[in-house]
Amino acid sequence: MPASETIHVDGVWRAATSGATRAVLDPADAQTLQMVAEGGVEDVDAAVLAAHRAFAGGQGQWPRTPASERAALLRRVAGLLQRDREEIALIESRDTGKTLEEGRVDVDDVTNAFNYFADLVVNESGGRVVDAGSPDVHSVVVHEPVGVCAMITPWNYPLLQASWKIAPALAAGNTLVIKPSEVTPLSTVHLIMLLVEAGLPAGVANIVTGAGVPVGARLAEHPQVDLFSFTGGLASGTTAAQSAVAGAKKIALELGGKNPNVVFADACATDVAFDTAVDQALNAAFIHSGQVCSAGSRLIIEESVRDRFVTELARRAERIKLGRGTAEGVECGPLVSQQQLDKVAGYVASALAEGAKLRCGGSRPEPSEQRPATGYFYAPTVLDSCHRDMSVIREEIFGPILTVEAFHDEEEAVALANDTEYGLAGAVWSGDTARARRVAARLRHGTIWINDFHPYLPQAEWGGFGKSGIGRELGPSGLDEYRESKHIYENLKPEPVRWFAG
Ligand code: NAD
């Protein structure tokens, strides 16, 4: 297909109805990677109609396909993802700026998600018999697909976020329309090609590339969409959800985070433990240049070890090798866009004006062969002496900025870590197991790591407390988001009830 035919509706790849296109840029040098279709409302309407017809009120080919066959298709997709692993990792690296190795990890994680939901739907496809209190009643709860699912994804983990929605939705028998971020649509286009190659019937999975408004907004409000699933920022997510709620759709929101990494002094008792805690704090904050919803962007550290810890952290942060994600030896890529670069620089300026102390970074790095001057690079930055009144502590920055706050006792550590309107993820580091578990139990976040940061499992729910979202992805709940429950009550011995005398 020609490069700009990135809209897939009812089994056909095509350009936007309007003919409009958009340049997708390589964030390492701001050069055009590929032209893609810039969809509009008419393209969304066509895609939703295709998905609606393919669902056909639950009587379409896909919703009526047995769970074992749907699972087999998901496993074929997993195989194709592994076949194309290097190609997809390269697409993701060039589109998002992340390193090639991170791109490979993403493809493996996406493969795991497809295999996980394939297994889960087979194991969970039977109904649940419930006791109706009478031997003459057979009562069973079964699951059915919801219908047409609209999916909107962000630019930081485009393929991964798409798979957490597409895999369970297809496993459950739904049809869908996905709109990837206009900044990084390429890997999702490739995924839809793999679904087609795996044999998914026409109209079941459709993609419309284009902007949040109008494409995403139209998906949110479209009357024939039954479920609206959004991953992205708080502002756009809540705006879009309002029109979805007005149409009484099911909604799922995966929004931002402001994630604490709580380090007790007893986690640094030996040189080895100190090295591990510093290394992981670095990883928590700076992997993918901090453009991670669960980034450990708030270091909350016990005062007695603060100076030693932050000094070593800043020393290592300064040595992170920044450059084009595909270049050999590069550890961190650029930010995704000029807009993101400006936002990050603005937050650093405001923090410094409010009294934060710069321990490293705070500017763009010198250009080099691996770092073109036109790329959106920003140096890993550590801001010490931060406090809750600063916007860098309260708002999600989504960049390579680590803030430091100090605490004196366990109570203060918990209070600081929970002092956020978000609640996506957080970590506690302690050499005292009882204390680590006590603190973990009190943290109000959807994922808590003890003496670790960032790992997640497809079989464990992912999602947030507070303003980090509504609902869960992954795990059994991640499948349930895409299923309706239906109670079938069967009276084996019907008799008159005589409620009315007549
Ligand atoms: P964003 O909110 O700017 O965009 C996300 C998606 O929403 C894009 O596809 C965009 O085109 C679309 N969109 C924008 N306005 C819209 C509107 N009015 N109606 C419908 N759609 C609209 O987010 P982003 O900058 O692409 O991604 C970064 C954000 O995503 C961060 O806040 C991050 O924390 C969040 N995120 C959360 C998770 C999670 O699992 N909770 C995972 C990844 C990213």
**Is the CB of residue 482 less than 8 Å from the CB of residue 172?**
yes
Q: For ligand 1, is residue 236 a contact (CB within 6 Å)?
A: yes
Task: Give me the phi and psi of 389, to 5 degrees please.
Answer: -80, -10
Q: For ligand 1, is residue 293 a contact (CB within 6 Å)?
A: yes
Q: For ligand 1, is residue 34 a contact (CB within 6 Å)?
A: no
Gap from CA of 78 to ligand 1 centroid (Å): 26
**Is the CB of residue 3 less than 8 Å from the CB of residue 32?**
no
Gap from CA of 231 to ligand 1 centroid (Å): 5
Please, where are the H alpha helices in 36-148?
41-55, 67-83, 85-96, 100-123
Token readout for 440 is 């973990």
Task: Pick the atom of ligand 1 nearest to 180's CA.
Answer: 9
Q: For ligand 1, is residue 217 a contact (CB within 6 Å)?
A: yes
Choice from 151, 179, 181, 236 to test ligand 1 binding pocket (greatest atom count within 8 A of CB): 236
**Using alpha carbons only, how large is the chain's radius of gyration in Å?**
24
DSSP 8-class letter at 112: H
Q: Label residues 97-121 b or e (16+ Cβ within 10 Å = b).
A: bbbbebbbebbebbbbbbbbbbebb
Give pLDDT, residue 502: 78
Gap from CA of 464 to ligand 1 centroid (Å): 15
Give pLDDT, residue 125: 80
Q: For ligand 1, is residue 163 a contact (CB within 6 Å)?
A: no
Cross-strand pairs, 407: 302
Residue nearest to atom 39 of ligand 1 (CA): 254
Task: Pick the atom of ligand 1 nearest to 157's CA.
Answer: 43
Q: Which residues are catalytic?
A: 254, 293
Choice from 151, 161, 231, 336 to test ligand 1 binding pocket (greatest atom count within 8 A of CB): 231
Task: Pick the atom of ligand 1 nearest to 254's CA.
Answer: 41
Cross-strand pairs, 401: 381
Choice from 109, 181, 421 to test ligand 1 binding pocket (greatest atom count within 8 A of CB): 181
Token readout for 390 is 């600063």
Gap from CA of 155 to ligand 1 centroid (Å): 7
Measure the CA–CA gap between 335 and 28, rounded to whole angstroms.
8
Dump the DSSP string for 294-363.
Answer: T---EEEEEHHHHHHHHHHHHHHHHT--BS-TTSTT--B---S-HHHHHHHHHHHHHHHHTT-EEEE--S
Measure the CA–CA gap between 94 and 79, rounded to whole angstroms.
23
Count of other CB atoms within 10 angstroms of residue 126:
11
Residue nearest to atom 19 of ligand 1 (CA): 217
How far CA 372 is from CA of 81, 142, 366, 368, 381, in Å, comes to 31, 56, 9, 6, 20
Measure the CA–CA gap between 433 and 313, rounded to whole angstroms.
24
Closest C-alpha among 469, 453, 79, 240 to residue 461: 469
Q: For ligand 1, is residue 399 a contact (CB within 6 Å)?
A: no
Residue nearest to atom 10 of ligand 1 (CA): 212
Gap from CA of 469 to ligand 1 centroid (Å): 12
Task: Pick the atom of ligand 1 nearest to 464's CA.
Answer: 41
Q: Is the peptide bond before 214 cis (omega within 30 degrees of 0)?
A: yes
Counting as low any pLDDT under 50, the low residues of the chain are none
Gap from CA of 126 to ligand 1 centroid (Å): 35
Token readout for 280 is 């992981």
Q: For ligand 1, is residue 155 a contact (CB within 6 Å)?
A: yes
pLDDT tens digit sequence for 160-207: 999 999 999 999 999 999 999 999 999 999 999 999 999 999 999 999
Closest C-alpha among 14, 13, 12, 32 to residue 23: 32
**Is the CB of residue 365 less than 8 Å from the CB of residue 316?**
no
Residue nearest to atom 42 of ligand 1 (CA): 293
Choice from 38, 156, 228 to test ligand 1 binding pocket (greatest atom count within 8 A of CB): 156
**Is the CB of residue 398 less than 8 Å from the CB of residue 343?**
yes
Q: How far apart are the first and last CA of the chain?
A: 71
Gap from CA of 124 to ligand 1 centroid (Å): 31
Three-class secondary structure of residue 175 per DSSP = strand
DSSP 8-class letter at 260: E
Give pLDDT, residue 1: 65
Task: Pick the atom of ligand 1 nearest to 232's CA.
Answer: 30
Which residues, at least 6 apart from 391, have a Cβ–Cβ distance to it below 8 Å? 347, 350, 351, 354
Gap from CA of 406 to ligand 1 centroid (Å): 31
Q: For ligand 1, is residue 239 a contact (CB within 6 Å)?
A: yes
